[in-house]
Amino acid sequence: MKALIKITLKNGVLDPQGKAIENALGALGFDGVSGVRQGKLIELDLAASDAPAARAEVERMCQNLLANTVIENYSIELVN
């Protein structure tokens, strides 16, 4: 089973990397772009084939290692 984890900064947390992208897009002539935020995307393969168990395991991975839950949100998507 494949898991796709999206990790994004919480609202209100400054995102200098996103701001840099926004400025660079403006400098390249892309107008009307705002609110750029950069996050992380982690794909992994799990041995578990039971969806609820797999989701619980990935949830624990996010809490323990993948996301900094003080400043980041995460969402988990399972793909068979």
The residues that touch a copy of itself, with contacts defined as CB under 8 A, are: 6-8, 18, 21-22, 24-25, 28, 30-48, 57, 60-61, 64-66
Cα distances (angstroms) measured from residue 44 to each of 9, 58, 71? 21, 9, 23
Asked whether the beta carbons of 31 and 66 are under 8 A apart, the reply is no
Shortest separation between residue 69's beta carbon and a copy of itself, angstroms: 16
CA distance 22 to 13: 16
> Residue 20 has which token pair?
């840099």
Which residue, 11 or 70, has its beta carbon nearer to a copy of itself?
11
Which residue, 46 or 70, has its beta carbon nearer to a copy of itself?
46
> Residue 47 has which token pair?
């041995």
Shortest separation between residue 51's beta carbon and a copy of itself, angstroms: 15
Shortest separation between residue 36's beta carbon and a copy of itself, angstroms: 5
